[in-house]
Amino acid sequence: MAWSWRYEGTNGESVNGPSESFGSQADAESWVGQTWRELAASGVTSVALVEDDRVEYRMSLLPPAE
């Protein structure tokens, strides 16, 4: 099983990002925890954690609305 991130822009469209692959969900989550600021600065507004072809969950990289 391979884990990876799918990157999305403002309107939910796919955007380019690092093509990393991880052996576990924990490794993938640790990596995005370390790189989310750089991803957000490059225009990624949300990410989807994918195991093979199945989306596990989506997560916003935007700060919470005040």
d(CA 43, CA 41): 6
d(CA 45, CA 41): 9
Q: What is the pLDDT of residues 23-56, one digit of tens each?
A: 999 999 999 999 999 999 999 999 999 999 899 9
Q: Residue ranges of the domains in the chain?
A: 3-60
- Binned at pLDDT 50, 70 and 90, residue 66 comes out as low
Contact 50, 6 (CB under 8 A): yes
Q: What is the pLDDT of residues 3-30, one digit of tens each?
A: 999 999 988 899 999 999 999 999 999 9
d(CA 8, CA 36): 13
User: Which neighbouring-strand residues pair with 3?
Assistant: 22, 51
- Binned at pLDDT 50, 70 and 90, residue 64 comes out as confident
